[in-house]
Amino acid sequence: MNKLIRTLALTLALCCLTAASPLALAGEVIDADLTCSITLGNWPADTAPEAEKALFEGYKATMAKQYPNVTLIPDYYSYTLSNYVPMAKGGTAPSIFQPPFTDPQLLISQNLVGDVTDALEAFGVLDKFSPSYVEMLADENGRIYGLPRDGYVLGMHINIELFREAGLMTEDGLPKYPTTLQELAEYGQIIKEKTGKAGLVFPASETYGGWLFTNIAWNFGCVGESALEYQDEDGRWVCNFTSPECVAAMEYMRDLRWKYDILNADATTTDWASAHSLLGTGEAAMNFAADDSVDQPTAYKGLPVEDFALIPFPAGDAGRYALAGGTCYMFAPNITKDQGIALMAYLKILGKLPFLDDDIIAGMRSDYAAKRDRGASVIPAISAWNDDEYNAAKQAIIDEFSNVDMRLYNDFFDSISEGTITLKSEEPVFAQQLYRELTAVIQRMITREGADVLKALKKAEESFQEYLDDEINDI
């Protein structure tokens, strides 16, 4: 009897093993023939939080299981335009790196990045791109050179503690935040008077000032025919900083300093990181910033998540516009077809492609758990993919790990989903140079009380037009 039971048990076990093995293999190894090496930029440094390092080691292990002959070479490389160009030309750029959305078109036009159209097609995700992202990451022939890592929409970060101190709270205990640029100036003035702290931190150094100013300018009407740069009938790119709308926007900037006096003291030396720092440490009440950087003032600068809110970009007289941008993945110019496939496989494991399986869901959960553990706000993400199923699954995980009162964020996300705010991408050509020119004008306006707005804009316009003629109009 015992022998019979043992025989049956053995037979059953063998059957299970035989039946399960092919399934297990299919789940584990996806392509054993794919053989290549890929260098992965932005690998977490040794000083990164343990949770983050473990996460990436997990991705690496999964990749090793699914593609056993693909060698992953971690690289701590962090992209800047200046360090990337020599590496790309010298053939030493990492296979994958992460530039901001301001740079892809420049890199594509200079043949400094690799084409992954075929690899994307092989993974069946080419048609799931949000069209605006395709536009940012493709050349004129529709070839794709990058993938969105994450998208963002510019809004405003709020330090609720300072709003409370200034008496700017509703009966529900929520901050009474500015919905228009005029209110921004007025509320900022109240905060400055009541708390002695800056109403608004404005990073007006390098290119940051110009970058934020374009948003203000759009809300003053610098869109369409009055856009800051446009292409005329002959196809020539024209700079247009002297439109009445742009002049009005720059006068507004000047007033923020000299009429309302709400800016932080060192605006001309403040950059993106220090702006977050000033808000997070309670030195300023408002900061133009996006949903993808909510961890900066909270997790990194210690502002409790209950004292932080994200609100829509304030409207101007000409409408309500906000920048939609983000960070993308791009690839070295010399990647091979196999490397392209391997890189897509790696991004799939990272959960950056619109696919859902247990590993990806587990990866997302780890990601949001790590975010919550380090004290960052866990909030909905703006998806770069037109895939309802994928987006719904992602939202369910976010809800599970949410650590914030969503009333402090709802208006921001509702303004996007309900279309009460118009999303715009960055100015189409040579945005960084445009920002640099405008930043110089802003610096003049906020450091010289009697500065002539039109004269300064005219000078910047001539300078940028010369640049356009030289670089793109080929005059």
Partner 1 sequence: MSGQNARTRSRARLAEDLKSWMIMLPGLILMTFFIWEPLLESVRMSLYKTRNIELVRFIGLDNFISVVGKDDFLQALANTFSYTFWSLIIGFALPVLLALLIGETVRGKSFFRTAAYLPNMLPGLAVIILWSSFFSGEKSGVLNILLGRLGIPQQSYLTRYEWVIPIIIIISTWKGAGATALIYMAGMAGVNPELYEAAAIDGATVWQRVFHILLPSIRKLAGTLLILQIISVFQIMYEPMVLTKGGPDNASLSLMQLMWQYAFGGSMNYGKASAVAVIVTLILLVMTAIYSYFNRKESDWD
Contact residues for partner 1 (CB under 8 A)?
80-82, 85-86, 89, 106, 110, 112, 196-198, 204-207, 264-269, 271, 278, 281, 283, 430, 432-433, 435-436, 440, 443-444, 446-448, 459, 463, 466-467, 470-471
The type of residue at 426 is E
Q: Which H or E run contains 41?
A: none
| Coil, strand or helix at 74 | strand
Q: Which residues pair with 97 in a beta bridge?
A: 330
Question: Least separation, in Å, of the C-beta of 155 and partner 1?
Answer: 24
Tell me how far, at minimum, the Cβ of 431 lies from partner 1, in Å: 8
Asked if 97 contacts 124 with a C-beta cutoff of 8 angstroms, the reply is no
User: Is residue 331 within 8 Å of 146, Cβ to Cβ?
Assistant: yes
Q: Minimum CB separation from partner 1 for residue 328, in Å?
A: 17
DSSP secondary structure letter of residue 313: P
Tokens linked to 348:
């799939």
| Buried/exposed code over 151-160 (b: 16+ C-beta within 10 A; e: otherwise) | bbbbbbbbbb
Nearer to partner 1, 34 or 81 (CB): 81
Which residues have CB under 8 Å from 475's CB, separation 6+?
A: 469
The distance of closest approach from Cβ of residue 196 to partner 1 in the complex, given in angstroms and rounded to an integer, is 7
Kindly report the three-state secondary structure assignment for every residue of 203-224.
CCCCCHHHHHHHHHHHHCCCCH
| Residue in 398, 364, 361, 351 with CA at minimum distance from that of residue 378 | 398
- Check if the beta carbon of residue 344 is closer than 8 Å to that of residue 116: yes
Establish how many alpha carbons lie within 13 A of residue 202's alpha carbon, considering only the half-sphere containing its beta carbon: 28
CB of 329 or CB of 435, closer to partner 1: 435
Q: Compute the distance between CA of residue 251 and CA of residue 247 in angstroms, rounded to an integer.
A: 6
Pick 31 or 266: Cβ nearer partner 1: 266
State the minimum distance, in angstroms, from the CB of residue 268 to partner 1.
4
CA dihedral (31, 35, 36, 37) positive or negative: positive
For partner 1, the closer CB: 255 or 266? 266
Cα separation, 295 vs 42, in Å, equals: 18
Q: Residue type at 475?
A: I
The nearest distance, CB 286 to partner 1, in angstroms, is: 15
Compare residues 124 and 302 and give the one whose CB is closer to partner 1. 302
Residue type, 35: T
In terms of CB distance, is 261 or 405 closer to partner 1? Answer: 261
> Shortest gap between Cβ of 297 and partner 1 (angstroms)?
15
Least distance to partner 1, CB of residue 408, Å: 26
Q: In this complex, which beta carbon is closest to partner 1, that of residue 325 or of residue 351? A: 325
**Contact yes or no for 322/188 (Cβ under 8 A):** no
* Residue with smaller CB distance to partner 1, 69 or 463: 463
CB of 437 to partner 1, least distance (A): 10
Residue among 106 and 154 whose Cβ is closer to partner 1: 106
Cβ distance to partner 1 smaller for residue 173 or 302: 302
Distances (CA, A) of 183 to 212, 245, 269, 446: 18, 19, 26, 19
Cβ at position 201, least distance to partner 1 in Å: 9
CA-based diameter of the chain, in Å?
A: 104
